A and B are shown apart, each in its own frame.
Chain A
Amino acid sequence: MTATTTSPPSTTRNPSVVKVPFRYRVPRKKIVLYVLAVAFAVYLVLPFYWIVAMSFMHEVDAISVPPHWIPIHPTLENYLGFIHPSESQQLVGGRAIDETPYSLGNSLIVATSTAVLNLVLATFAAYSFSRLKFRGSQVLLVLYLLTRMVPGIAIIIPFYLLMRTFGLLDTYLALILSYTTFALPITIWILKDFFRSVPRELEEAARVDRCGWFRTMWSVFVPVAAPGLVAAAVFAFMTAWNEFMFALFLTSTKAAKTIPVVAANFATDFNTQFTVMAAAGVLAVVPPLLLALLFQRKLVQGMAAGSVKG
């Protein structure tokens, strides 16, 4: 170190000493991190941006080379097509455009029902695992998780046969039951850990405050556990909303086809229309996005803060 940088009083006393101006040096590590972060964000966001942009383009602009990153002649034609499809649009993907509004409705019903059914079952199970000590609880928990280790393709044929036997092919119920079996083990694990973090004294305080078991659950436990419950419900909703393979096997008409199956039709036909497909993709994103926005606060809220010491 030199006197010029370490002792400012000497510089005032001795004007001959040159004062080195302070230079802020950006740490190299920080630059690398920023570059990586931006690259990753672009990697995540760019495909989605391209879908949204394309959904407002004419087909000609969408497939032009080099691509137009911003719609130069923006149009709502692709969206309006879902209400009044033009003749050319009707031909796309085995009437995919005609089936899209129905499939969105189907997806909503199936995903919501899966979320609700899954939440009710998982809450009871997870509560038991978090509060009761019983022989074999750990084994049972691991067993639940093991069921998720089996690849879907391995069980799809038995599932198909089972659903056919019960006459459930091409119904909501077939999908709801299937998706619940996928989501339930993970949901139980998520909720079990969350419930364990809810202080047991809260329930005991409610009992002393003259609540019966159901009242304790409803007035105290559920509100406190709400962030966990919301997270679990959103997880189950997304699982059901995104699922493709089972929906492909178990449904065949617009009575039960979900949006992933119909969206795939846009791409599988020789008569592909990228812009309509993009619009369908955007529509498919809207419900989960709204859901995430709606419950955003609950999802991140640490409700238990301040209930007990600390």
Chain B
Amino acid sequence: MAEVRLEGITKSFGAKAAVRDLNLTVEDQESLTLVGPSGCGKSTTLRMICGLERATEGNIYFDGRPVSWLPANKRDVAMVFQSYALYPHKTVRQNIGFALKMMRVPKATIAEQVQQAARTLDIEDLLDRKPRELSGGQRQRAALGRAIVRDAGAYLLDEPLSNLDAQLRVLMRAEIKRLHVDVARTFIYVTHDQVEAMTMSDRIAVMRDGVVQQCATPEEIYERPANRFVASFMGSPPMNFVTGELANVDGVRTFRSGALSQELGRYDVQPDDPHVVLGVRPEDVTLSPTPVAGYRPGKVFVSEPLGPDVLVTVRIDGELLKARVPVPFRLGHDTPVYVGFNADRLHLFSAADGLALHAPQPA
């Protein structure tokens, strides 16, 4: 069990920096997810923690002990690869027990621990099969088994669910989360899927272009995104953005964009530059078939039923806004509709650098 600390980590491939000045601490027994679009440096970061890549600059510490110069086999980490990387010539039993064998653990102990790991993952009856005889989900479990059988300081998971079909992914997501609770170790999880990130971890580090944009709890990331990128990346469907400017209308702070005018009520931001971007999550958009005071008229562009609610895209002044409204929603295409925002849950970002100016205060 270990606390993993990254200090000023930079990794360059030639002239291109994959990770830039990364500072991050993963607490002992914490589950942290690195999330971001492809090429954001999340896998590179994981590989550096693992010892498969060496940082160009900076240091990595496990429990305060510098490990930057230790190769992967001396680092006391276990890893689940995106491709599973099971040894094709070994049975599942041998695959899971391989690391223990390398650590010269007595045979009887290996057998016992392999059995226990297999029981946890419900793959006891697959132990004597070769990887090619397994389905995708079974391979994934075997790969997990290879990691959890170890008494490692940290468990690194590199997009372990990306090769599974949607249904199995949801199932395994829950299982890995439960596994973290059961084994109580440090988990560092890499994914490009924001739903996985939101659901699985104690904290999320959102990365973009090799830089951590925000590192916080899933709730914090969702409720108080640090910048426009985080706001747009986390949440499905993504947040709506409207570019406009701040103005005082009859002494009330108001956001204005074309015909759109939104009173900001108790929001007391005073940016130097009045050009801002208003952000509103689809679930904070309300629709009405009849005019309501403060609502803007628009037209239904398309509506997509999701089951418990409906995702409605509305066109206002040529811009498309998404609203998530409860069923039933019966307005057809191009029907006039009136759009209102939940004034307590608006986000404001600087138009210049995208940094958050204001976000709803926790209730």
Contacts and interface: CB of A to CB of B under 8 A. Distances in A.
Q: Do A and B bind each other?
A: yes
Interface residues of B, number: 32
Contact of A224 (B78, B88, B102): B88
Contacts of B301: none
Interface stretch (A163-171, A230-238, A302-310): A302-310
A223 B89 contact: yes
Given A207-B51, A209-B98, A305 B132 contact: yes
26 contacts: A199-B85, A204-B81, A205-B81, A207-B51, A207-B72, A208-B50, A208-B52, A208-B73, A208-B77, A209-B99, A209-B102, A209-B146, A210-B73, A210-B102, A211-B73, A211-B102, A219-B98, A220-B87, A224-B88, A226-B89, A306-B88, A306-B131, A306-B133, A308-B85, A309-B84, A309-B163
Contacts, number: 85
A219 to B, nearest CB: 8
Nearest to A307: B88
A201 interface: yes
A294 B185 CA distance: 49
Q: Please tell me the size bucket of the interface on A.
A: 20 to 34
A267 interface: no
Contact of B131 (A201, A208, A307): A307
Contact of B83 (A212, A223, A305, A309): A309
A198 to B, nearest CB: 10
B72 A306 contact: no
Given A210-B99, A309-B163, A204 B72 contact: yes
A204 B52 CA distance: 7
Q: Which of A201, A202, A208 is most buried by chain B, counting CB atoms within 10 A of its CB?
A: A208
B88 A204 contact: no
Given A223-B89, A303-B88, A306-B132, 6 more contacts: A202-B87, A206-B87, A208-B51, A210-B102, A305-B132, A306-B88
A131 interface: no
Top-3 shortest CB links A-B:
A306-B132, A307-B88, A201-B85
A215 interface: yes
B103 interface: yes
Interface of A: 199, 201-202, 204-212, 215, 219-220, 223-224, 226, 303-309
Q: Which of B78, B89, B99, B134 is most buried by chain A, counting CB atoms within 10 A of its CB?
A: B89
Given A208-B78, A306-B130, A306-B132, A201 B99 contact: no
A35 to B, nearest CB: 39
B81 A224 contact: no
Given A205-B81, A306-B133, A212 B73 contact: yes
B72 A215 contact: no
Interface of B: 50-52, 71-74, 77-79, 81-89, 98-99, 102-103, 130-134, 136, 139, 146, 163
Nearest to A202: B85
A308 B51 contact: no
A215 B72 CA distance: 13
Q: Which of A206, A226, A309 is most buried by chain B, counting CB atoms within 10 A of its CB?
A: A309
A78 B111 CA distance: 59
B83 A199 contact: yes
Contact of A208 (B72, B88, B139): B72
B139 to A, nearest CB: 8
A219 B99 CA distance: 12
Contacts of B52: 204, 207-208
Contacts of A207: 51-52, 71-73
A307 B87 contact: yes
Contacts of A308: 83-86
Contacts of A208: 50-52, 72-73, 77-79, 99
B25 to A, nearest CB: 22
Contacts of A309: 82-84, 136, 163
A209 B163 CA distance: 22
Nearest to B152: A208
A307 B134 contact: no
Contacts of B132: 305-307
Nearest to B89: A223
A110 B74 CA distance: 43
Contacts of A220: 87
Contacts of B103: 210
A255 B119 CA distance: 64
A178 B78 CA distance: 48
Contacts of B136: 309
Contacts of B79: 205, 208
Contacts of A306: 86, 88, 130-134, 139
A72 B22 CA distance: 86
A14 to B, nearest CB: 53
B81 A201 contact: yes
A265 to B, nearest CB: 46
Contacts of A307: 84-88, 131-132
A129 B73 CA distance: 24
A305 B139 CA distance: 12
Given A207-B52, A305-B88, A307-B88, A215 B102 contact: yes
A209 to B, nearest CB: 4
B85 A205 contact: yes
Nearest to B147: A208
Contacts of A205: 79, 81, 85-87, 146
Q: Which of B78, B82, B88, B103 is most buried by chain A, counting CB atoms within 10 A of its CB?
A: B88
A134 to B, nearest CB: 14
Nearest to B103: A210
A223 B94 CA distance: 14
A303 B146 contact: no
